[in-house]
């Protein structure tokens, strides 16, 4: 038979709960409440600490850096602490730095072939003047001559940014940053990426100014172009980086120009005078 429970039952339960509460207070006494000012101060300190930590993470400071420089005719292979490998070409300069949230390198001049070990939580960033490269794990080449940069991908994917423009490159693709602008993505032979490590200089309709910049890495004395229209003349072929003088000697046979070598070894390239 159903009905309302006896009122005495509630009284007994309330007394039992009260006794239990008092026993718990005796066994586990509560600490004296901190003054309001102290609590507010502790809260402010906690918030400030969180803000500082967030700021540090946002700034992503470096805690270690390494600097590498190769001379004319010298190449160097770098084994980085994270398992990545970098091949540094002749007359090149690279700085590698380790940050809390990223791995970074700055190619100040020359050329480098990167084989990046995958680290999803710490992307690998390459700063090459006007071009910024971002990867997680891949194999790619970066060549820089002043503000002229070319990025070529052998494996994986690479994001390249110049100003507000960006391109996502896949294996067998390359992009050039020229005059601060990102040019359209072009095809490239993935098998030829890093061929310079074996002494091969491969050009395919490459502007003469860029070709001279590459040759200059292997030539101790300055090479200068003088004359309108010379910079953009296209050069194609496979040449030996160990004998760049032969390449210079071949240029007048394939392009309308003259090559003059001074007694000190410096080279001046001028437009051929029409007769």
- The beta strand positions in the chain, using DSSP E, are 62-69, 76-79, 85-88, 93-99, 103-115, 124-128, 131-135, 139-145, 148-155, 157-162, 165-170, 173-178, 181-182, 186-187, 200-207, 223-226, 234-240, 257-261, 267-271
Q: What separation in angstroms does the CA of 206 have from each of 75, 101, 146, 180, 258? A: 23, 37, 16, 18, 19
Domains and CATH numbers, the chain: 62-192 (2.60.120.1440), 199-271 (3.55.50.30)
Say what percent of the chain tops pLDDT 90.
70
Cβ within 8 Å of residue 47, ≥6 positions away: none
State the pLDDT at residue 69: 98
Backbone angles phi, psi at 196, to 5 degrees: -65, -20
State the pLDDT at residue 255: 95
The rounded mean pLDDT for the chain is 84
State the pLDDT at residue 54: 40
pLDDT band at 57 (very low <50, low <70, confident <90, very high): very low
Spatial distance between the Cα atoms of 236 and 13, rounded to a whole number of angstroms:
96
Backbone angles phi, psi at 13, to 5 degrees: -65, -40
Q: What separation in angstroms does the CA of 126 have from each of 76, 114, 167? A: 18, 10, 15
Distance of CA 135 to the CA centre of its chain: 7
Q: What's this model's pTM, rounded to 2 decimal places?
A: 0.76
* Mean pLDDT along residues 194-218: 95
Q: Name the nearest CA neighbour of 113 among 153, 58, 172.
A: 153
State the pLDDT at residue 59: 59
What tens digit of pLDDT does each residue of 219-255 get?
A: 999 999 998 899 999 999 999 999 999 999 999 999 9
State the pLDDT at residue 15: 52
């Amino acid at each position: 038979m159903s009905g309302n429970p006896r009122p005495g039952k509630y009284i007994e339960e309330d007394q039992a709960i009260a006794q239990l509460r008092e026993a718990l207070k005796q066994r586990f006494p509560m600490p004296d409440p901190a003054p309001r000012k102290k609590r507010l101060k502790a809260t402010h300190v906690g918030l400030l600490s969180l803000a500082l930590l967030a700021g540090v993470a946002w700034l992503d400071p470096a805690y270690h850096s390494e600097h590498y420089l190769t001379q004319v005719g010298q190449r160097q292979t770098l084994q980085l602490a994270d398992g990545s490998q970098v091949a540094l070409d002749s007359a090149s300069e690279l700085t590698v730095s380790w940050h809390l949230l990223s791995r970074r390198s700055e190619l100040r001049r020359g050329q480098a072939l990167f084989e990046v070990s995958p680290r999803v939580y710490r992307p690998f960033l390459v700063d090459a003047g006007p071009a910024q490269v971002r990867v997680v794990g891949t194999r790619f080449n970066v060549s820089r001559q002043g503000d002229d940069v070319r990025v070529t991908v052998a494996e994986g994917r690479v994001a390249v940014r110049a100003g507000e423009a960006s391109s996502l490159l896949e294996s067998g693709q390359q992009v050039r940053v020229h005059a601060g602008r990102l040019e359209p993505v072009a095809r490239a032979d993935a098998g030829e990426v890093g061929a310079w490590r074996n002494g091969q200089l491969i050009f395919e309709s490459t502007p003469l100014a860029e070709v001279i910049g590459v040759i200059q890495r292997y030539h101790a004395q300055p090479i200068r172009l003088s004359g309108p229209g010379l910079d953009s003349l296209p050069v194609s072929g496979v040449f030996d980086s160990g004998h760049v003088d032969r390449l210079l000697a071949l240029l007048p046979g394939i392009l309308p120009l003259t090559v003059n070598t001074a007694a000190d070894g410096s080279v001046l390239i001028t437009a051929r005078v029409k007769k």
